[in-house]
Structures are given as C-alpha cells and as structure tokens.
Structure 1
Amino acid sequence: MRSLAVVVDLRTREVGHIDARSGFFDPTITERAQCRPFGITWSPSELFIVNNRQLLAFEQDLSFGRAVPVRLQVNTHQLAYDAGRVWTVSPWTNSLIGVGDDDTVEFDLAAQAVRPYVERDASPADDRWHYNSLLWHGDRLYVAAHAFGPASFIKVYDRATFRLVDVHPNAGHSIHGLACRGGELFWISTRTREIRSDRGRRVPLPRAGFARGFAMTEDHFIVGVSVPSSRDKRHRGDSWIQVIDRCDGRLVEEISLPGTGNVNDLRLLDGHDHAHPVPPFWT
C-alpha cells in the first residue's frame, strides 16, 4: 500500500497522492489492514484523516503535520468536524468519539450519553449495528447504521442535548454517507446500488460495484464506487468517481482510479458539500 489518499481534480482529471508513511502501519493489528485510512474532515487550519487508531493531521499543502495524541479504535469510519471537535464514527464501540484540543469525549448512541472517552480495545464482536456515517446539519446530528443483514436505518439526535428525536427505518441495505439540502436527507443504499432520500427519491447508480463515499453539490451527486473484494484485498483494485446530475440522475462524468484500492470516504476540498457542511478547506 503506497497511498493514504488520492486527490482528484474533477476538471482536469489529474490525480495526486498523499503517501502512506511507515508510521501509518500498526503492527499490532493482525486480522485486518494495518493501514486503513477512512474518514476525512478538516478544521480551519488542518485536514484530518482517521486511520484505525490514529487521527492524522495534514497542512494546507497536504504535507503530513502530526498524529493527534489520542488512541482511537480499530475500524474507525467517517469523520466530521463540529464545534471545535473532530468526531469519528466508531462501529466497534457503537459510539461517536469527539476529539478536541483539550479533551476527548464519547457519545454512546444507544444510551444517548456523552462522557469522557476512555482509551481501550474494542472488538468486532461488540459491533451491534455497524454505525458508519454522520452528518451535523442545522440543529440535528444524523447517524447512519449499515445494520448488517436487516434493513439499514438512520438515527436523528438533537445537536444541543444529544437526545434521540427521530429514526428513519427501512433506509435500504448496507447504507453509507449522508447529505441534507432543503430539509431532504440523502444517502447511498450500497447493496441496492442507488441514492435514496427520505422523501422517497431513488436514483440508480450506473455502475455495478461497492458504492461508498458520497458528496453532494447544488447540481450533482458525487459517488465513489469500488470493485467488490474480500477484506484482505481492499487496499488494491480499481475504483471510480461518478458525477451524477441531481435533477435527472444522468451520469455526467466518470473518472477511473486504477489500482487505488477501495474508496472509503470522499470529500470536496474546494466547494460547498451538502454532505459535509463546513467551509471548504481550499478557497
């Protein structure tokens, strides 16, 4: 594995890379990839990528800055920045972990309780619903649950109190990604190969594959699609970025990423993203 992340210019199709450094590989992880970059977010000054137990910070030019001194969980998933914290979805602890400058907290999604984060080793056996994606939007926090075999669902919490206010059941199967525009919530139903919304909209994805990585502009859905593969081979193989018209579901453009491995997450660095409503990292 040579790259931690790829950076794609959708206008020129130029592809750049953030190199995988030796310190990004954790030799204590033996049953899954020792380097597994996943969620992406940023503060006004740093870009963050979560990689198993590591939260890695990068400068504006994408050079490596530091590893944040907190030990997260193996198999951490999507990131989002809100109110001075980098929040990561932690499927094995069924929680969100919020890393701040002075302290780290944990939001237990079932108990609806926020408490100080205790560093520990969770287990895949503890993963009840495989929470994988989050979205802070307005006065709400949305959290998506893959849910393994049964229908996926989305929980909605009050931003201020962290109390559960709604649940969207039957959201599809193996869902990933969340976006909101004009009060309408969107996500990917990966197993059924479509984009769905809570108002009943369904947009078929034009390529077979494992869809994960979701951004949304005023005019387009942007989706990452990868060749399905076993866990031990997901760091290699081909992927694609699909740009889809939001009005008619037409495939506007598809960019091939040969040999890059699975797309785990996708963010827009230089434009507003309804799946990641923070100011762009690059202006």
Structure 2
Amino acid sequence: MPEGHTVHRLAARHQELFGGEKVLAGSPQGRFAEGAALLSGSVLDVTEAYGKHLLHHYAGDRTLHVHLGLYGKFADGDGEPPEPVGQVRLRLRSDRHWLDLRGPTACELLSPPEVEALRARLGADPLRADADPDAPYARIRRSPTPLFALLLDQSIVAGTGLIFVTEALFRAGLPPTTPGRNLSPEGWQRIWADLVELMGTAVRTGRIDTVHPHHLPEAMGRPPRVDRHGGEVYVYRRAALPCHLCGAAILRGDLAGRNSYWCPGCQPAPRARRRA
C-alpha cells in the first residue's frame, strides 16, 4: 500500500494537470458510473492529501475521495486518452490531459460533512502544515500498546506505513515493542521531527531513503540496496543481513499482524528490573 508521501505527490500532480479546469469524467468499468456522471463538467478547484487519502475538491461542494489500498494505481498522459485497458474505475480528461484510476479500495463522492467526518477520524499527518503533534502523543503516552502498532494506526498518525515506522524507530534507538506509555515527551518530539523530515524528503524525491549521508553506500563502501521498494534503509526488509552501524543481524518478527524489523544491537530491549 502506498505510504503518505506517494499520495501527497499524486495530489500535487493532479493539481498540476487539472487545477482550475473543467473535467469530463467517466467510468469505463462501470462501477463509478453514477458518481462520474455527477462529477463530469465540474471545475477542479484544489487537490488535497490527508494521510493515505486523496481528495479532489470541485466547484459546487463535490469532493472526490480516493483511497488506493493495496492495488490502486493512477496513470496519466497528455492529449487524447488511449482506449481503456483493464478495469478503469475512473477516467478524467480535459482538453490537454487524461487520468485513469484502477483498483482503488475507495472511489466515491463526498459531501462537505462527510469530508469533515473523514478528517476527524484521521490522526495528525506529518506532511501537513496544520498537523498538531501533541494530539497523537496524548494517546500514545497513555497506551501500553507497542509503539510499532501505535505509529501504524492511521487514527493516531496518518500517512505512515511499515517503512517509515520501522525506520523511524531504528533511528530513535527504540525496539518496536516499546510500550507507548514509556515514550517520553522528548522522545516523541524526536520521532515526530524525524517523520516530518523523512516523509518530506520522500515527497520531493519520490523514493524513501532513511539512512544518514555518512551511511550511504558510497560513504561506507558497500553495495547499494537492491529491492523493489528502492531507497536506502537501515532495517526494513533486511532480515538476517548485518546492521550498517553495529554489524548485528537484523531481526524480523510478527507484531500487530505485520512484519516488524529491528536491530538487537542498536534497538536493545530494556532490561527487566530485578526484584529486591
């Protein structure tokens, strides 16, 4: 599933393609035919990303809401659109550009109250200027749930996925099983600032790189990472490989129903207190 930076990049791209223009909408697949008919002929005012949710706001208080889920993908181009191939849920086009959407989890029209309800159920998005980092910490500091699960909870922090969460915990030196209530205010401020930096860089570059400059392949004399996700990382999908910092074998385990990765040397579990 795309992480939040991808959705923010899509919002910017769609604004560039269609912002301020009247669009024609259709649903070659047919599953969004009713919504497309209502949307067609409207002017796209502005696009917005909130976590992993993409919003197109059109004149007349209509909002297109898209959640890509595991399989959703966009394609776009210039000029006349090609013949639809596969299950195209939504096609938008103007005089200059076209856009196709396939396989989303959600593709729907929302009213203003429904948009507000969507925002209300999402946590703070590190990529949004209006994000309040105190709100997620108010929940984290009271919870015995592992930080790994809390940071993946979209009602607490919106837009984070496995890569950003796994890597932010490594960079903070905290094992993924750390209870939320054990995280200090200073520790949370460091994690939040790190998420803002890492995710912001990913928006600009289009890839997720989480290693510091002095740990890049060219600086360390090591081969670059070869993985379909791309980018240089410390622990994500590096199980059994040596840590770039301490050399310990990276571990993998199931936590909250997801694959978790950590370094036992750089993210040591706290020692249990001895009973007197």
Relative to the length of structure 2, the TM-score reads: 0.27
Based on CA coordinates, which of the two structures has the bigger radius of gyration? 2
More helix by share: 2
More strand by share: 1
